[in-house]
């Protein structure tokens, strides 16, 4: 009876929004295998960290960076941080806008082109976008300040307007005209391709390329089931699900 009761306990998962499709599938696979229910909360990693710091109940935190879970570990709220997935930044272009990797920086600097990003500090995607701007400075002096000044921080912040239920937020911003180009994770290519095939993915050229390391921590006071979920994410099955959704899965050597 005790084992049955433990299996029925809910595991509280706080996870980066970019992991929603992958971690939803993973939670379903975990529940099918263990009969343990996962209750996920998805959002911008920085905002989730703030909620945990303020006392919101959480057991496993999967972040789109290493910095946010490391901050919780330094504060004594979480355990060691494990790198469990990698992503990278791409640019998504609205239909009709002609741009290639070679002309991308010129297009981003064009005063007539609306450039969307997520919100730095609140959402790692925004920090990665601003890292791209910093790299652009070495290619074209003055580019960093120009890009930072024109960037429209449309997502990931406490006051950001969400997309309609079920819609990809970046695709929504492009389709609505809020942005012409949007710096976002390359893993958005799959959902965007299904929703809006005319939106194009443009790879950042090597001199502007920025990668994203994803970190996992188990929060202090987590139940044994919380640790089981963390181990499932790090398992071959969990890593294969991440790879299926376009992430690099470091524990598989990919």
Same domain for 193 and 131: yes
Is residue 180 assigned to a domain?
A: yes
What is the pLDDT at residue 5? 46
pTM metric for this prediction: 0.93
Same domain for 179 and 104: yes
Same domain for 187 and 98: yes
Is residue 15 assigned to a domain?
A: yes
Query: How distant, in Å, are the alpha carbons of 137, 171, 188, 212 from that of 191?
Result: 32, 9, 6, 19
Inter-axis angle of helices 143-150 and 124-139, to 10 degrees? Answer: 150
Same domain for 35 and 15: yes
Domain count, the chain: 2
Same domain for 75 and 176: no
What is the pLDDT at residue 8? 57
Is residue 208 assigned to a domain?
A: no
Is residue 45 assigned to a domain?
A: yes
Q: Which helix (H) or strand (E) holds 93?
A: strand 82-93
The vertex-90 CA angle with 217 and 21, nearest 5°, equals: 50
What is the C-alpha to C-alpha distance for residues 110 and 3, in angstroms, rounded to an integer?
A: 62
91-117 as b/e: b if 16+ CB within 10 A: bbbbeeeebeeeebbebbbbeebbbbb
Same domain for 95 and 178: yes
What is the pLDDT at residue 3? 44
C-alpha closest to that of 62 among 233, 252, 227, 246: 233
| Spatial CB neighbours of 222, under 8 Å, sequence gap ≥ 6 | 59, 60
Query: What distance lies between CA 120 and its chain's CA centroid?
Result: 13
Place of tokens 């730095």: 120
C-alpha closest to that of 127 among 61, 213, 246: 213
Same domain for 242 and 155: no
Same domain for 91 and 68: no
On whether the CB atoms of residues 83 and 234 are closer than 8 A, the answer is: no
What is the pLDDT at residue 4? 43
| Residue 188 DSSP SS3 | helix
Is residue 159 assigned to a domain?
A: yes
Is residue 46 assigned to a domain?
A: yes
Indicate which CATH number applies to the domain containing 111.
3.40.190.10
What is the pLDDT at residue 254? 67
Supply the Cα-derived Rg of the chain in whole angstroms: 19
Same domain for 111 and 190: yes
Structural domain boundaries, residue 94: 87-203
Same domain for 114 and 164: yes
Same domain for 147 and 64: no
On whether the CB atoms of residues 79 and 230 are closer than 8 A, the answer is: no
Q: What is the mean pLDDT of each run of 10 residues along the chain (254 residues)?
A: 54 97 97 96 97 97 98 97 97 95 97 98 97 98 98 96 88 95 96 90 97 98 97 97 94 76
Same domain for 180 and 135: yes
What is the pLDDT at residue 149? 98
C-alpha closest to that of 173 among 100, 181, 165, 125: 181
Is residue 100 assigned to a domain?
A: yes
Q: Which helix (H) or strand (E) holds 21?
A: helix 20-34
């Amino acid at each position: 009876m005790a084992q049955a009761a433990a299996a029925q306990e809910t595991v509280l998962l706080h996870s980066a929004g970019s992991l929603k499709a992958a971690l939803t599938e993973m939670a379903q696979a975990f529940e099918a295998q263990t009969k343990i229910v996962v209750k996920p909360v998805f959002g911008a990693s920085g905002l989730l960290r703030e909620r945990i710091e303020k006392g919101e109940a959480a057991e496993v935190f999967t972040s789109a960076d290493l910095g946010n879970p490391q901050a919780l570990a330094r504060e004594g709220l979480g355990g060691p941080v494990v790198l469990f997935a990698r992503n990278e930044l791409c640019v998504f272009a609205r239909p009709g806008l002609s741009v290639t990797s070679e002309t991308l920086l010129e297009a981003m600097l064009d005063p007539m082109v609306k450039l969307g990003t997520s919100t730095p500090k609140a959402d790692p995607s925004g920090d990665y976008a601003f890292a791209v701007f910093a790299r652009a400075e070495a290619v074209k002096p003055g580019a960093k300040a120009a890009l930072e000044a024109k960037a429209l921080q449309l997502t990931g912040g406490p006051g950001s307007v969400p997309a309609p239920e079920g819609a990809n937020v970046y695709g929504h911003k492009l389709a609505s005209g809020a942005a012409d180009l949007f710096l976002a994770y390359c893993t958005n290519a799959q959902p965007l391709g299904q929703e809006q095939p005319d939106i194009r993915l443009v790879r950042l050229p090597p001199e502007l390329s920025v990668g994203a390391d994803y970190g996992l921590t188990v929060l202090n006071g987590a139940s044994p089931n919380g640790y089981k979920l963390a181990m499932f994410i790090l398992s071959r099955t969990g890593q294969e699900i991440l790879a299926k959704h376009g992430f690099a899965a470091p524990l598989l050597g990919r």
